[in-house]
Amino acid sequence: MLKTYTYPKYEYQQPQEQKERSAARYPVVIVGAGPVGMAAAIDCRLQGIPVVLLDEDDTVSIGSRGVCYAKRALEILDRLGVGDRVVEKGVSWNVGRTFFREEEVFNFNLLPEPDHKRPGMINLQQYYLEQYLVERCVELGVDMRWKNRVVSVQRMSDGVRLTIETPDGTYGIEADWLIAADGARSPIRKQMNLEVDGKVFMDRFLIADVVMKADFPAERWFWFDPPFHPNQSVLLHRQADSVWRIDFQLGWDADPEEEKKPANVIPRIKAMLGDEREFELEWVSVYTFQCRRMQEFRHGRVLFVGDAAHQVSPFGARGANSGIQDTDNLVWKLKLVLDGKAPERLLDTYSTERVAAADENLMNSTRSTDFITPKSNTSRMFRNAVLTLAEHHSFARALVNSGRLSVPAFLADSTLNTADADEFSGAMVPGAPMDDAPVGVDGKKAWLLDQTGNRFQLLYFTDVAERLGGKLDELRGLSMDPVPVEPVIVSEKAGAAAGVRVLHDLQHLVARRYDAREGSVYLLRPDQHVVARWRKFDAHKIRAAVARATCN
Amino acid sequence: MPLTLTLTPNFSEPGKRYFRAFSPGDDFYEMLIEAHRDLSDEQSAMLNAKLILLLANHIGDLSVLREALGHARDGV
Ligand SMILES: Cc1cc2nc3c(=O)[nH]c(=O)nc-3n(C[C@H](O)[C@H](O)[C@H](O)COP(=O)(O)OP(=O)(O)OC[C@H]3O[C@@H](n4cnc5c(N)ncnc54)[C@H](O)[C@@H]3O)c2cc1C
């Protein structure tokens, strides 16, 4: 039992099919009500897909797991309708400080640019995130089944058959598509004899959650070789409810059972705090970390997401953050395939795009872990040389790697993109996750990202919204297509156009961030990525780009 | 070659586009550590010595090298 949080217990109900011994088939079944499975379930409901969500447990994440949720994950949570709750409860931060021995050698600001809705990061205990996601699932009518453990998966050409164990015995259901979100040990992956390749880091970390009153600022503090914990690293984060997360690197030889004992943990924390301030232990565990992924995330009708598909060390907070991005990428594609508007091949691009993103995450968290835990004397020597030079020289500060914090991948090599034919500068290339910016909607202040997502959209930049004439018909025509594209006008002047939404580019930041001029157009995917852009509107080119983006 | 030692971030690869400022430096650092993989401490010291000589010749400008040597010696 925690001092600051009571784990909810969600009620098990015997499933209808089990009671009635009837057969049932669903378009989508999700296994695992962790953050990733629930994000997938909510997204399915937003797309109008009925969904069953199975979990072997009946509560949220226990103990010390995810803390940091990054800007992109928050933007997705906004789209899913839980962003505000998560951000209100969480601790927002942008600044990270890195110390070497006694000195601060480096600090970074995750959001050097103002005028984005969400901060670089928030810190929040994983159980709060999960609780809010459960409540949102219930609100949207997800068929949530607690104490339902999947014990076997049988693949069929057009779906899967699951055997499920409940307190009342076993029963079976069928699904057209199965989303496997059953975590790092994924029983489904094992059942299907699929490999997950990578490496284990030969190091152990003591992860303590501590309740204390402290007025340290809401920043990430990272120490290399501090006087209170020589030769190792320490990380401090503030979470909600005056709970602080402290990670102590212990080395490979540490005995996890011994280290977990309060009699050994408390002196470490006292040494770190350096005073007699009172604190209480909330939770303590010892972890080793791994970096690994499956070869492919799609296997016929089974789609792997989150930790089941890939696992990273937590330096960089790329675990849940990247899992939530998996579902962001997957669900709109699944919807088009279920509706017969795109071939199944589209789901292969879920795998290729998210494998590329996973590789970026694995690369960055491996590099951070290697910097934090040098594997040889030479590697340690270089690390310490970087930290020493960092005090005086900016080139060395840029090399200090205490975790490259989760940022979304640019899907610049995706086959779904239409390559630029016109000249643009800036970062909003085809494949880019969209940059946010303030906009006005009906005279009220709003955010670009809140105005996008869930469907294909076309941003049309113009300051003469009232005088578009025939072009307005062409724009509106796009929304009647089999894969509809909603036209949205972005204008530096407040204006109106019959039947088309107008976003007022109040501070000219949309145009600036997207390098847009009069007449520029951006085609956006339902997951808020740029997929094509032109200097001039051409309905034919837009339709070709939509076809390409949907494998049609 | 610049006339003074560059001390601001300066890594890049021609033709490669970087979306994150930390990427080119991290690419270099990984190459560096990778080059030392499986070497003994003595072998690594030899690699480092050869590397310094190669880079010094590439830079060529003795005033730049003098400045770098000064910074490297600093605080050791
Ligand atoms: C110390 C630590 C710190 C971390 N910090 C961060 C961080 O700061 N930021 C971040 O983004 N990530 C962080 N992570 C990673 C994060 O916790 C995971 O990436 C995240 O929980 C993965 O979510 P998931 O939904 O894929 O899997 P899980 O959360 O593992 O959920 C899997 C679910 O599947 C269910 N299940 C399993 N088998 C079955 C079955 N056979 N039948 C039915 N249900 C089943 C389980 O009950 C569970 O609910 C951290 C992890 C650790 C350990």
List pLDDT tens digits, range A277-312. Answer: 899 999 999 999 999 999 999 999 999 999 999 999
pLDDT score recorded for residue A81: 98
Average pLDDT score over residue span A498-516: 96
Q: Considering the domain boundaries, does residue B75 fall inside one? A: yes
Checking if the pLDDT of B1 tops 70, the result is no
Two structure tokens written together for A426: 């800036």
Range A527-542 average pLDDT: 98
Q: How far apart are CA A247 and CA A203, in angstroms?
A: 12
Work out the average pLDDT over A76-87: 98
The ligand 1 atom nearest the CA atom of A33: 49
Mean pLDDT, all residues of chain A: 95
Tokens representing A58? 């009946």
Mean pLDDT of A313-317: 86
Q: Which of A102, A110, A376 to mutate to probe the B interface, most B CBs <10 Å? A: A376
A129 in Cβ contact with A76 (< 8 Å): no
Q: Is B59 among the domain residues? A: yes
The structural domains of chain A, ordered by start, are: 16-90+119-194+294-358 (3.50.50.60), 438-549 (3.40.30.10)
Angle value at C-alpha A437, between A453 and A94, nearest 5 degrees: 105
User: For chain A, how many helices (H) and strands (E)?
Assistant: 15, 28
Three-state secondary structure string covering A367-424: HHHHHHCCCCHHHHHHHHHHHHHHCCCHHHHCCCCCCCCCCCCCCCCCCCCCCCCCCC
**Is B57 contained in some domain?**
yes
Q: Is residue B46 part of a domain?
A: yes
∠ CA A308-A310-A313, nearest 5°, is 115
Mean pLDDT in residue range A320-344 = 98
pLDDT band for B2, please (50, 70, 90 cuts). Answer: low
**Residue B45: inside a domain:** yes
Asked, for residue B61, whether it belongs to a domain, the answer is yes
Residue A162 is encoded by which pair of tokens? 């699951």
Which residues on chain A are in Cβ contact (under 8 Å) with B74?
392
Residues of chain A with pLDDT > 90, as a percent, come to 88
The verdict on A434 touching B (C-beta cutoff 8 Å) is: no
8-state DSSP, A332: H
Task: Give the span between the Cα atoms of A360 and A92, in whole angstroms.
Answer: 25
Q: What is the pLDDT of residue A547?
A: 98
pLDDT above 90 (res A128): yes
- Type and span of the H or E element at A124: none
Q: What pLDDT, on a 0 to 100 scale, did the predictor assign at position A494? A: 82
The string of pLDDT tens digits covering residues A210-232 is 999 888 888 999 999 999 999 99
Q: Kindly report the nearest CA distance between residue A198 and chain B, in angstroms.
A: 17
Q: How many helices (H) and strands (E) does chain B have?
A: 3, 0
* Most confident listed range (A26-35, A110-119, A365-374): A26-35
Cα A193-A297-B21 angle, rounded to 5 deg: 135
Q: Are A395 and B7 in contact (CB under 8 A)?
A: yes
- Span B5-64, pLDDT tens digits: 999 999 999 999 999 999 999 999 999 999 999 999 999 999 999 999 999 999 999 999
A177 sits in which H/E element: strand A169-180
Q: Which domain holds residue B70?
A: 39-76
Q: Supply the angle between the helices A319-338 and A71-80 in degrees, to the nearest 10.
A: 40
Residue range A420-453, pLDDT digits in tens: 999 999 999 999 999 999 999 999 999 999 999 9
If you write DSSP's letter for every residue of A240-294 in order, what string do you get? STTEEEEEEE--TT--HHHHTSHHHHHHHHHHHH-S---EEEEEEEEE--EEEEE
Q: Which of A309, A351, A294, A284 is nearest to A32 (CA)?
A: A309
**Which residue's CA is the nearest one to ligand 1's atom 41?**
A150
**Which pLDDT value is given to residue A249?**
95
Q: Is the pLDDT of residue A142 over 70?
A: yes
* Count of structural domains within chain B: 1
pLDDT computed for residue A113 by the predictor: 85
Residue A54: closest CA among A182, A230, A214: A182
Cα A151 from Cα A165, distance rounded (Å): 7
Please give the backbone phi and psi of residue A109, each rounded to the nearest 5 degrees, phi first: -120, 115
Interval A540-552: pLDDT, tens: 999 999 999 999 9
**CA-closest candidate to residue A195, choices A36, A310, A300:** A310
- Worst-scoring range by mean pLDDT, A88-97, A271-280, A438-447? A271-280
B75 contacts A378? CB cut-off 8 A: no
Predicted confidence (pLDDT) at residue A1 exceeds the cutoff of 90: no
Q: Judged by CB atoms within 8 Å, which residues 399-418 of A form the interface with B?
A: 399, 401, 404, 407, 410, 412
- List the structure tokens of A514: 């997207």
A369 contacts in B (CB within 8 Å)? Answer: none
Under a CB-based contact definition with an 8 Å cutoff, are residues A235 and A316 in contact? Answer: no
Q: Is the pLDDT of residue A177 over 90?
A: yes
Residues 6+ apart with CB under 8 A from A74: A83, A86, A87, A118, A119, A122
- Where residue A454 falls among pLDDT bands split at 50, 70, 90? very high
d(CA A87, ligand 1 centre) in Å: 20
* Min distance A316 CA to chain B CA atoms (Å): 13
How many other CB atoms are found less than 10 A from the CB of residue A240?
A: 17
Tell whether B34 is covered by a domain: no
Asked if the structure places residue B49 within a domain, the reply is yes
Which residue in B has a C-alpha nearest to residue A377's C-alpha?
B41
Q: Which residues of A touch B8 (CB under 8 A)?
A: 394-395
Q: How far, rounded to the nearest angstrom, does the alpha carbon of residue A42 sit from its chain's CA centroid?
A: 14
- Residue of A178, A543, A548 lying closest to A334 (CA atoms): A178
Percentage with pLDDT > 70 across chain A? 100
